[in-house]
Amino acid sequence: MSTTNPHNFVAAAYARVARLRRRGVFAALLVVLGVVAWLPSLTWADTGKLAPRQNRVISPELVDHARQQVDEIVQQIGQDDSPATRGKIVRAILNDIKRDGERVPEDWGIESSIALYDELDRRFGNDESPTVRALVAEALVDKGRSVRAGSYWENFYRKRRPYPEEAMAIFDDIERRFGQDTHPAVRVQYVRSLVEIGYTWSEEKNLDVALAAYDDVIARFGKDKVPGVRAQVVRTFRLKGNAWRGHVDSEKVEVLMDKFQQDFPEFDPPDAKLKALLFDKCQKLQTGKKSLGNLDYSRGFEVWFLGSNNYSSRAKIVWKFFNHCSNLNLDEIYAIFDEADHRYSKDRAPEVRKELAGTLFSKGHIALEYKDSQTAIAVYDDLNRRFGKKDLALRKRIAHELLSRGFYDQVVQWFWQDKDPDIKREVIQALVKPGDRLRDEGKFDAAIAVYDEVVRRFGKEGQGGYVANTLDKKGIILRQQGELEAAIEVYDDIARRVGPANTYYAALALVRKGEILVQQGKFKEAIALYDEVEQRFGKEASYPLIRDLVRKAAEARAAASGRLSSQ
């Protein structure tokens, strides 16, 4: 519950009073007096948001630096007074800010960016050119986002309280200045600011206000003629779906508990306190605030859960109950994403299609988070077929997501013929991972067969590093099985594939082969290989991985020389 809303603050305070009454009337009275003393300081802006209680102070040094920076940009682009030139100047300033302030000292923090935004607004805020007005509005939205993000950064690193009201005040200013502007580019930025208001409330955990803000954007602009505005509406659906994960529906939890008590005799919390604990845990799982792995349990729960003859049966039922709690919001979340798809699936505007693809990707990601792999695979399959052909970045995201979640068959099946090198690497890893699993299970012959298939398929595809890594895995298994000559052939194969280039795998092949020769007692040959590592790669020691191999080769050479001299 957010205390930035006065009603929420009072509700939280009186809840605390109720708890403190058990400790004494005096403690409760102190809380009441604190609420009464604090309330007069609350003021509301016209839009119903809390007015800022603190203005950020920008140092004169930063203000001067921002002015100098803008002056430099003006000199570089030109000083004629045409709208086109002014637009170029404002865009250049925005680009300068978005390069993460690389021209300002790091210890100035977010204030350096704010100073630039303020200087941009001071110089161009009253410009009547629609192009410049749109860029100024974009700058103000970016400023609000920076203030919001920077406040949390400051809170974490500098132990300062975050002030989202600063960001809210900026978004309110955008509404006042640009809310009635009919120019399409300006409207896009205005709607973008409204979406950011909802997101800010969502970050503040004030879900009801956030959802109301999102619904307002959808209702007002869902059928707008400007593609950029419709794209922002699609983005609103995505943010709304993500925010709904934090929604609490107590009635659903009560219905679920009643159903489990009726269907399963083992699910029989003996008292109201334990039932309340289960209710609370279910709500936390419903909102995603807790996972099954990090729930906190009381002693009473442990006694009930563990201390019975039917422990095994009860445990299964309780965990089944908790899993149902985690999925209570899932249908509503899916419905939000599906509504966006239903509304805009036939929209041909590129910016709308891009946002819709991102929104559907979020649906698949959430499905995976909720362990609904069947829905996730269906979403990603549909997404790849509809949007993937023309969107390389999306294909990469889908391939990486599936690979990271262990859906290796889908990666291979969907992207086998993709020409992009990055996606090919994902496919190689999807083929190698099952081999790694077989290796870990001790099924070495099966693992080697998988690795050989990867090398056969991709050995001539320009993926030398990944193929060499796969061969190295095979060589390690052969060494463990005592097949040293076969392992040497593997590392000779790596050396042939990588060629004369002084790469990591070229050095690795020599070091690994040297280790095998030491195992065979061929110390002179091993020493010669270690000397070659030093000669070829000693100058490449600035690279950490190669430097480690050179150091390892030197140590192994010393050990081999010692054993040779002792013979």
User: How confident is the model over 514-523, as pLDDT tens digits?
Assistant: 999 999 999 9
Structural contact between residues 465 and 505, judged by C-beta atoms closer than 8 angstroms: yes
Coil/strand/helix, residue 44: strand
- Is the pLDDT confidence value at 162 over 70? no
- Is the pLDDT confidence value at 304 over 70? no
Q: Cα-flanking dihedrals φ and ψ of residue 133, to 5°?
A: -60, -40
Please give the average per-residue pLDDT across 367-396, as a whole number.
94
Among candidate residues 221, 146, 168, the one with its CA nearest the CA of residue 191: 221
Residue 414 in tokens: 């969907």
Mean pLDDT score across all residues of the chain? 83
d(CA 516, CA 514): 5
Structural contact between residues 150 and 109, judged by C-beta atoms closer than 8 angstroms: yes
d(CA 117, CA 93): 8
- Is the pLDDT confidence value at 306 over 60? no
- Is the pLDDT confidence value at 100 over 80? no
Local structure of residue 500 (DSSP, 8 states): T
Helix ranges restricted to H, 264-349: 272-287, 299-306, 311-326, 330-344
User: How confident is the model over 417-432, as pLDDT tens digits?
Assistant: 899 989 999 999 999 9
pTM above 0.85, yes or no: no
- For residue 52, the model assigns a pLDDT of 43
User: How confident is the model over 240-291, as pLDDT tens digits?
Assistant: 999 998 888 888 888 998 898 888 877 777 778 778 888 888 888 887 655 6
User: How confident is the model over 205-234, as pLDDT tens digits?
Assistant: 888 999 999 999 999 999 999 999 999 999
- For residue 301, the model assigns a pLDDT of 62
- For residue 204, the model assigns a pLDDT of 85
User: How confident is the model over 319-357, as pLDDT tens digits?
Assistant: 888 888 888 889 999 999 999 999 999 999 999 999 999
- Is the pLDDT confidence value at 296 over 80? no
User: How confident is the model over 402-460, as pLDDT tens digits?
Assistant: 999 999 999 999 999 899 989 999 999 999 999 999 999 999 999 999 999 999 988 87
User: How confident is the model over 521-538, as pLDDT tens digits?
Assistant: 999 999 999 999 999 888
- For residue 5, the model assigns a pLDDT of 43
Local structure of residue 567 (DSSP, 8 states): -
User: How confident is the model over 6-54, as pLDDT tens digits?
Assistant: 434 443 443 444 444 434 444 445 444 554 444 444 432 334 444 444 5
Among candidate residues 182, 85, 206, the one with its CA nearest the CA of residue 130: 182
User: How confident is the model over 68-79, as pLDDT tens digits?
Assistant: 989 999 889 987
Angle formed at CA 188 by CA 187 and CA 192, multiple of 5 degrees: 115
How far does CA 78 lie from the centroid of its chain? 41
